[in-house]
Amino acid sequence: MKQIEQHASFGGSQEVWQHASSTLGVDMDFAVYLPPQARQGPCPVLYWLSGLTCNEQNFITKAGAQGYAAKHGVILVAPDSSPRGEGVADDEAYDLGQGAGFYLNATREPWAKHYRMYDYITQELPALVDAHFPTTTARGISGHSMGGHGALVIALRNPGMFRSVSAFSPVVAPSQVPWGEKAFGAYLGEDHDEWMQWDATALVANASERLPLLVDQGDADNFLDEQLRPQLLQQACEAAGHPLTLRMQPGYDHSYYFIASFIGEHIAHHAKAMKG
């Protein structure tokens, strides 16, 4: 591990670290905010998964989350959204390849060698964070857009791993919208049964843990009707009896202005669950 950034922030420390990932086969950067409480002892960890085109910088520079994390004594961990670098498969489009990992394990070439973000987020990164920072066993997970998809899917596929989950503007049904159809077809092939393993609306039907889902969605989001379609998650949760709080926020779009407006409420939600 190599520290490449450190900034004092709200009495704590905003840091960026780099390590050689054995899962992804490349060097990966991830951000860690250590609240002031971390100097006295272990703190719970909230993992943040970013959306298309983003890296670890977007959340830590735009969301305004550090002050809320300091208030509640929560460590924030924000990884990159995909493997990157020379030799890593890519595409000219913004919604496939580097910056568009979709938090799954690719099975098709040329993607399968490096695109294993699911294993990275659920195995390698938590082990690294727990080994190097003062963490408790309590974890939460959240994310935005593609990262909201990742947070929901990872929480649903790993009962007991997280005490809380939330999402901003998530891609709730990737198997039914253009972003997901394109990515799943490239990364996974044409077996739609395999696609369902990475689709939150399909996973809630058989979830063994009824972890409450908190979703905020702006009603002025230009991706709302074509790519996000939160009503599909609402219908799936109602059919399965899975707890969901879906908050449609009037006038808000898909940007970090939206995230910054409600990130404090999300961090409070996670802190309550992780400490309770």
Handedness of CA 84, 196, 249, 242 (dihedral sign): negative
Split into its structural domains, the chain has a count of: 1
- Identify the CA nearest to 52 among candidates 169, 153, 166: 169
pLDDT for residue 276: 82
Range of the domain at 268: 2-274
What is the 3-state composition of the chain as percent helix, strand, coil, each rounded to the nearest 5? 40, 25, 35
- pTM of the complete model: 0.97
Question: Is 142 in the active site?
Answer: no
Read off the pLDDT of residues 164-217 as tens digits, 9 standing for 90 and up: 999 999 999 999 999 999 999 999 999 999 999 999 999 999 999 999 999 999
Read off the pLDDT of residues 113-163 as tens digits, 9 standing for 90 and up: 999 999 999 999 999 999 999 999 999 999 999 999 999 999 999 999 999
Instruction: Give the torsion through C-alpha atoms of 16, 22, 27, 28, to 10 deg.
Output: -40
State yes or no: pLDDT of 62 exceeds 90: yes
- CATH number at 195 reads 3.40.50.1820
Question: Is 266 in the active site?
Answer: no
| Catalytic one of 114, 254, 269, 270 | 254
| Catalytic one of 21, 221, 242, 270 | 221
Question: Is 114 in the active site?
Answer: no
- CA R_g for the chain: 17
State yes or no: pLDDT of 82 exceeds 90: yes
| Catalytic one of 21, 82, 145, 166 | 145
Give the distance from CA 49 to its chain's centroid: 2
